[in-house]
Amino acid sequence: MSGTQRAAFRPNWAARAGWSLLAVYCVYAAWSMDFTWARFVSGLHNGAMFLGSMFPPEFTRWRLLVNNLAETLQIAIIASGAGIALSLPFGLVCARNLMPAWATWPARAVIAVSRSFHPVIFAILFVKAVGFGPLAGILTLVVASIGFIGKLFAEAVEEISLKPVEACRAAGAPFLSVIIFAVLPQVLNRFIGFATYQFDANIRNSTMVGIVGAGGIGGTLFAAFQRFDYDFLAAILISIIALVMLGEYLASVVKAVFND
């Protein structure tokens, strides 16, 4: 038996050098952004004072809260319905296993542009275009829905089995019948999952686009920040959490209906 023992794993000096460079860069980036321990401790103290000024929440202006939450929910519902309806044809046209390249690339470009910017940036553009109010918020979330669901739906369609599609085509079925009887049954459950998730996301986003004047409770939230009205701010945040939880419940109910 040999007296020498071989190491179970040979040292990878290139990987170690890479991790070391990454660690050095993280330290440099933290230093260049003025991230210091003293500043972090000071921030914790300021954060504790800020949270202390938020309690107890002030719900005496509940009518304003209810009206803003209702508008936020309306924006989310209308935008989700329109966005999901429009993303379905976009997703089908984007699917490379169903459509020719000259049709898929323009549709993919539209979806890519819709997904390129944060909803707040689109909200600023639509506020400039159609003015302040819920219409700008609705248009913003419709664009965001097309960018998200359209891409996921196209990928789901590209993963289907083509045997039912070929069978329908061999039987002389028109294109619409191929979509209804061979494609949609294979992706319907996933499409419902995407749609319910987007509805949930639109509720959250509809509370945010109002910060730039696109309707909803975001405008009231921003005004409370500006006035240092922190107890009312806490009431708004609690109301938004309740609204998001309601949206999750509604999404689970919709999924249960279609899955049963």
Q: How many helices (H) and strands (E) does the chain have?
A: 11, 0
Q: What is the pLDDT of residue 223?
A: 86
Q: Around Cβ 125, how many Cβ atoms within 10 Å?
A: 16
User: Does residue 199 lie within any of the structural domains?
Assistant: yes
Residues in the chain: 260
User: Does residue 174 lie within any of the structural domains?
Assistant: yes
Tell me, yes or no, if the pTM score tops 0.85.
no
Q: What is the pLDDT of residue 24?
A: 95
Q: The domain containing residue 250 runs over which residues?
A: 62-259
Which amino acid type is present at position 232? F
User: Does residue 140 lie within any of the structural domains?
Assistant: yes
Residue in the structure block whose two tokens are 């071989």: 6
Task: Domain count for the chain, please give it.
Answer: 1
- The model's pLDDT over 74-105, given as tens digits with 9 standing for 90+, comes to 898 899 899 989 888 888 888 888 888 888 89
Banded pLDDT at 22 (limits 50, 70, 90) = very high
- The model's pLDDT over 116-156, given as tens digits with 9 standing for 90+, comes to 888 888 889 998 898 888 899 899 999 999 988 888 888 88
User: Does residue 226 lie within any of the structural domains?
Assistant: yes
pLDDT for residue 202 is more than 60? yes
User: Does residue 153 lie within any of the structural domains?
Assistant: yes
> CB-based contacts of 232: which residues, under 8 Å, 6+ apart?
57, 58, 61, 224
CA dihedral 242, 78, 150, 252 (to 10 degrees): 40
Query: Under DSSP, is residue 229 helix (H, G, I), strand (E, B) or coil?
Result: coil
Round the CA-based radius of gyration of the chain to a whole number and report it: 25
User: Does residue 53 lie within any of the structural domains?
Assistant: no
Whichever domain contains 90, its CATH number is 1.10.3720.10
Burial class (CB in 10 A: 0-12, 13-18, 19+), 18: exposed
> CB-based contacts of 114: which residues, under 8 Å, 6+ apart?
143, 144, 146, 147, 150
User: Does residue 128 lie within any of the structural domains?
Assistant: yes
Question: CA-CA distance, 216 to 236, in Å (whole number)?
Answer: 12
Which of 247, 220, 250 is CA-nearest to residue 235?
Answer: 220
User: Does residue 142 lie within any of the structural domains?
Assistant: yes
pLDDT for residue 16 is more than 80? yes
- The model's pLDDT over 208-243, given as tens digits with 9 standing for 90+, comes to 888 888 888 888 888 888 888 888 889 988 988 888
pLDDT for residue 5 is more than 70? no
Query: Under DSSP, is residue 88 helix (H, G, I), strand (E, B) or coil?
Result: helix
